[in-house]
């Protein structure tokens, strides 16, 4: 588990970790949660595909957490991408980010609960949630990602 405050660079650190692991021969899968002026999206490290997390104007089912609304379909897709990476032979999964949705059994919780043992996992978690995430998903050790200038 890699934890740090919001905006501390966890996703950048995870992207660097995934790239380094791949260069050393690891088969890396998983998801990065990217944000840009165009919106938030999942990036599949195994295939390079992306899926918008935020709903378009109206109609589709959403999951709400705080002030954010996310497409239910994006989390279904993300769970399928994690399972596909494992089935294809990934030996390292990066999962960005495990948070309040997962702690209440939504978001990526179902995918995390059903992933088989085997692939190493790196979970990105906001500081303050690391103990709850570790207890809920039986992960460790925990590393603090210090903010960088």
Tens of each residue's pLDDT in the chain, 149 residues: 888 888 888 999 999 999 999 999 999 999 999 998 888 999 999 999 999 999 877 778 988 888 888 999 999 999 999 999 999 999 999 999 999 999 999 999 999 999 887 778 999 999 999 889 988 987 765 555 555 44
Asked if 53 contacts 70 with a C-beta cutoff of 8 angstroms, the reply is: yes
Name the CA radius of gyration of the chain, rounded.
15
| Residue ranges in 88-129 assigned as alpha helix (H) | 100-103, 109-114
Instruction: Kindly report the pTM of this predicted structure.
Output: 0.88
In a domain, 118, yes or no: yes
In a domain, 106, yes or no: yes
Transcribe 22-67 into DSSP letters.
HHTT--EEEEEEEEETTEEEEEETTT--EEE-S--SS-S-EEEETT
CATH number of the domain where residue 36 is located: 3.40.50.300
In a domain, 98, yes or no: yes
CA 145 to chain centre: 16
In a domain, 137, yes or no: yes
In a domain, 21, yes or no: yes
In a domain, 149, yes or no: no
Residue 136 belongs to domain spanning:
2-144
Asked if 107 contacts 75 with a C-beta cutoff of 8 angstroms, the reply is: yes
Q: Which residues contact 36 (CB under 8 A, 6 or more apart)?
A: none
Q: Tell me whether strands 92-96 and 120-126 are parallel, antiparallel or unpaired.
A: parallel
CA dihedral 100, 17, 135, 80 (to 10 degrees): 60
- 3-class secondary-structure state, position 85: helix
CA distance 84 to 77: 10
Look at residue 149 in the predicted model and tell me its pLDDT: 40
In a domain, 49, yes or no: yes
What's the number of domains the chain is made of? Answer: 1
């Amino acid at each position: 588990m890699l934890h740090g405050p919001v905006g501390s660079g966890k996703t950048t650190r995870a992207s660097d970790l995934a790239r380094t692991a791949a260069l050393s021969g690891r088969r890396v899968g998983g998801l990065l949660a990217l944000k840009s002026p165009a919106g938030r999206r999942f990036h599949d490290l195994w295939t390079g595909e992306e899926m918008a997390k935020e709903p378009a104007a109206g109609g589709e089912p959403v999951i709400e957490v705080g002030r954010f609304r996310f497409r239910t379909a994006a989390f279904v897709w993300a769970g399928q991408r994690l399972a596909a990476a494992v089935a294809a032979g990934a030996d390292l999964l990066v999962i960005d980010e495990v948070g309040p949705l997962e702690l209440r059994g939504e978001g990526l919780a179902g995918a995390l609960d059903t992933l088989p043992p085997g692939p190493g996992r790196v979970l990105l978690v906001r500081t303050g949630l690391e103990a709850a995430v570790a207890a809920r998903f039986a992960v460790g050790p925990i590393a603090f990602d210090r903010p960088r200038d």
